[in-house]
Chain A
């Protein structure tokens, strides 16, 4: 069975600093996709960034970037220049067929 593990239940960072959220996964598939979703207090789920497993280049979206290590099955999210609006739960997710398998989430607090 495919699994996604986020080992950091909570993290905090000072505004304008950089923070990295960890995610590891397990899958027997060779081609798959990985995602980071953000859930702010409004509870709306918002896609932050996605990575295709067959692409070696790490995905980047403005202040958000990933470190994708396929052999190690690791998919970390780096947030640069953290902003107060980045405060949220962050979920790592893996596709299984048409389904998303989510990790347990990391609650990130950005402090002024």
Chain B
């Protein structure tokens, strides 16, 4: 298996633009997580899905952020409009049958820079 795939690996955009980050989880995994990593706040969970259904989006910072999972093999995280404070590395992770004791497999991350 190719592991969790994220695209793009790097994104540079200007303030006010729409940004879409993409994730393909490992085949057969039924949980998908979006994390954000910054120097100030560390690694924080934004939202997670189970069987394509959003379970907990309490970490989504504000209405500018939205996430979808239209099918078991694809998810997007959208920021509209983007702001400089959104600059961070965004990770997607997937796991099989919850993250309780099962390993979450992380993608390589997308480094987002908002100018």
Chain B facing A: main interface SS:
strand
| Residue in A45, A52, A102 whose beta carbon sits within 8 Å of that of B42 in the complex | A102
Q: Which of A62-112 contact B (CB under 8 A)?
A: 91, 95, 97-105
Which size bracket describes the interface of B in this complex? 20 to 34
Contacts of A99 in B (CB 8 A): 33, 45, 48, 56, 99
Chain A facing B: main interface SS:
strand
For chain A, the count of residues having a C-beta within 8 Å of the partner chain is 21
| Residue in A33, A44, A47, A103 whose beta carbon sits within 8 Å of that of B100 in the complex | A33
Measured CA separation A104–B40 after assembly (Å): 9
Q: Which residue numbers of A lie inside 8 Å of B, CB to CB?
A: 33, 35, 42-47, 50, 52, 91, 95, 97-105
Q: Which residue numbers of B lie inside 8 Å of A, CB to CB?
A: 31, 33, 42-45, 48, 50, 55-56, 89, 91, 93, 98-101, 103-104, 106, 108-109
